[in-house]
Structures are given as structure tokens and as C-alpha cells.
Amino acid sequence: MVAAVLAGLSLLTALGATGMPVRASAEDSPPMIQSQKPIKLVAFGDSLTAGYGLQLTSAFPARLEKALREKGYNVDVHNAGVSGDTVADGLARLDWSIPEGTEAAIVELGANDALRGLDPKNTRAGLDEIVKRLRQRNISVMLAGMYAPRNYGADYAGDFDRIYPDLAKAYGLTLYPFFLDGVVTDPKLNQGDGLHPTAAGVDVIVARILPTVEAFLTKLTAASR
């Protein structure tokens, strides 16, 4: 299964995962945010968020918090990742996984749906419901997208890949198109299973996603004024 997945993922570069950083436009580059109390941000996802095979201090939420604080953002990033979760699993635990007082959430789910070849219609519906329920709680949402392995065929990949930009457009959400940009298929940045980033891989993810997160937080603070 892993070999098939890797073979499919290796074709992502031909379909948008070029390894180039995904960056916010220059006009969205925010000034440093200084606030009296930390912004409560939750990273809600699967093993890629949870930090499978890593120390918690090397997991995506901890490294993102460090990077944001070094840029001057007063933010606490809570790790709400659970290894193995599909979108349906995330939806089932949504209410108790997102603490009261959360102001923003980065939703990183769907990788396991794609690896298992689950119906993209169900993945879309589950993510749509997650977004709706978070917004009902006045929690701003950023989507971290995923691409499907190409070994499932062009139709499946097309249906799956469209989920994230479609939802971002429908709800006016900040979107980072591909969470594993710059890391996927690079053996030096992945653990032995070829699927989960090493600590160095997480740092690449954080460096590439950071401008988009900054733009997201800037919109959040501007809306709250």
C-alpha cells in the first residue's frame, strides 16, 4: 500500500505540487501583531498535525507557534491532531476537540481519506460540516489542502483536489493549497514510512505555510477591531 501511495504521490509535481513555496501576496504581508492576550489558534487535523513519530515540541503546532512568536505574534497554538483520523473521524470529535475560547482554527484533514480512496463526496460533505460548525462558534477557519495520490486515476484526483479550493471560495476562507508542499517524496524530509515528515520536514512545512497563516491572523485581528 505504501509503495502504491508513494508512486502516486510522486506525480503530484505535475499537477500543482511543484515544491515551490505557497505564499500570500505582498499586499497581504502583515505587520507584527502585538495584543494583550494571546490569540487562541487550534491546529485541527490528523497525524500530520499530531506529529506522528516526533516529540511534541517538533510537531507542526509547536513549531508554528514558535515561528509566529518569533515574528511578533502573540499566539497560542493548540495541537488537536489525532493520528489516523479521516474527515469523518474529525467531524465526530469536533465539538470536544476545539476548546472554548478558540478564535481560529487551521483545518488539516483529508490525507487519510485520499490514501484510503474514500469517496470525495463524503470528504467534501464532512469538511463542509466542519467549517459550518466552527463558524457557528465564531471561529475563523483556514483550510490546509491536500492532493490525492495519482494512482487512483485522474477522475478521482480531480474530484478530490477540487474540494479545498471550492470550499475556500464558497465560504471566503484562507486556503493553503497543499500542506505537504516542499516535503512530499523527499526522503530526506520524511520518516521511514515515506508518509510522515521528520522534524526537518515539519520545519519546511512551517516555513512555507507561515506567510499564509500570517495573512489569516491579520484578517482575524482586523475583523475583531
Residues identified as active-site: 47, 193, 196
User: Locate cell 464558497: which residue?
Assistant: 170
CA distances from 170 to 31, 58, 162 (A): 28, 34, 12
Neighbours of 37 (CB within 10 A): 8
Assigned C-alpha cell, 213? 497563516
**Contact yes or no for 131/174 (Cβ under 8 A):** no
Tell me the residue type at 41.
L
Q: What gap in Å lies between CA 33 and CA 72, rounded to an integer?
A: 6
- Cβ burial of 149 (10 Å; 0-12, 13-18, 19+) is buried
